[in-house]
A and B are shown apart, each in its own frame.
Chain A
């Protein structure tokens, strides 16, 4: 069966510090991968998605970046965090078929102080 991992689960960082969040999928190959952010009391905002190694599409211009160094690994990064980067970050994957749902990881709670 497939599983998706995210770490860390929680993170408290000062403004201006770097960020690296990791997402790993097990039990499947060549998934589409996604990063979402949930601000407090708001819906999901798609940040990045990837259809393959090294292929990243950005949905919202911001100080965040994403990379996919391996088939089942998706990393969200920032060189300098802003207060507005606080939120709940969710990674998701889907199989390469038009009618398949997304499977979500457990999320990372980021607080920028």
Chain B
């Protein structure tokens, strides 16, 4: 069975500081991994995804994530936080593209 953990339900960073949101997964077969962002009272929007190939994936809004098979991790980073990055972030995994498992989410706050 698949599972996703996100360390830290709430992360606060200063504007301009590095953003690091952690995601670890468990999967019996090579997974496909995703990061989504959710703004209040809205649906989820895809930030980036890893399927195959290059393990460093670049997404929208300056975010990127690196797939590390040995660590079963897919952490999300952004070099410099912006106030508009404040939102809820979800990591997700699927094996066969049918059932998706989401992490519990991390709320990112950006302080001025």
Contacts and interface: CB of A to CB of B under 8 A. Distances in A.
Interface of A: 32, 34, 42-44, 46, 49, 51, 88, 90, 92, 94, 96-107, 109
Given A88-B41, A98-B32, A99-B32, A49 B102 contact: no
Interface of B: 32, 34, 36, 41-46, 49, 51-52, 90, 92, 94-100, 102-105
B48 to A, nearest CB: 9
Contacts of A96: 97
B41 A99 contact: no
A74 B99 CA distance: 17
A96 B52 CA distance: 17
A107 B43 contact: yes
Nearest to B9: A41
Given A43-B102, A44-B90, A49-B98, A104 B51 contact: no
B24 to A, nearest CB: 15
A34 B43 CA distance: 13
